[in-house]
């Protein structure tokens, strides 16, 4: 009986040791890696959403300018050289588009933060 008891205690200690080893060497690092991947995926999704909002804003701005609402003026900055132009919209149109852009960006932050 003494031998059976010592074998049972040894097996119990071995099982507990294996469980502790598994928890600290496999489970916890895996969990931390998953959290890190989730944060990276959220940041990537946020960046994509913000990029889409900016692209949509630029397309809407260009479309509005092409419809004759804006004034095209020659503005050359940096390395763009001669003949470059930019569309200036009336204040009310500009404010509308800027508000749409800000709303889209706010929605991105709400969705991915």
Range of the domain at 77: 42-113
The pair of structure tokens assigned to 45 is: 């999704």
In a domain? residue 89: yes
Torsion sign across C-alpha atoms 106, 108, 110, 113: negative
52 is a domain residue? yes
Instruction: Supply angle C-alpha 99, 78, 57, rounded to 5.
Output: 20
Helices (H), 24-73: 28-66
Is residue 31 in a domain? no
pLDDT tens for the chain, 113 residues long, are 688 888 899 999 999 999 999 988 888 888 877 787 688 888 888 899 999 999 998 888 888 877 777 666 655 555 555 556 677 778 888 888 889 999 999 998 888 77
pTM above 0.75, yes or no: no
The answer to whether residue 12 is domain-embedded is no
Domains of the chain: total: 1
Does residue 65 lie in a domain region? yes
Asked if the structure places residue 57 within a domain, the reply is yes
CB-based burial, 65-98: b 16+ in 10 Å, e otherwise = beeeebeeeeeeeeeeeeeeeeeebeeeeeeebe
Decide if 6 is inside a domain.
no
Q: Is residue 51 part of a domain?
A: yes
């Amino acid at each position: 009986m003494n031998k059976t008891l010592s074998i049972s205690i040894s097996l119990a200690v071995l099982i507990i040791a294996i469980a502790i080893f598994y928890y600290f060497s496999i489970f916890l690092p895996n969990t931390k890696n998953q959290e890190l991947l989730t944060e990276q995926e959220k940041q990537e999704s946020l960046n994509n959403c913000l990029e889409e909002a900016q692209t949509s804003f630029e397309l809407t701005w260009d479309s509005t300018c092409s419809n004759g609402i804006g004034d095209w003026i020659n503005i050359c900055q940096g390395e763009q050289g001669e003949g470059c132009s930019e569309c200036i919209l009336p204040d009310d149109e500009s404010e509308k588009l800027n508000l749409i852009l800000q709303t889209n960006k706010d929605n991105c932050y709400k969705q991915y933060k």
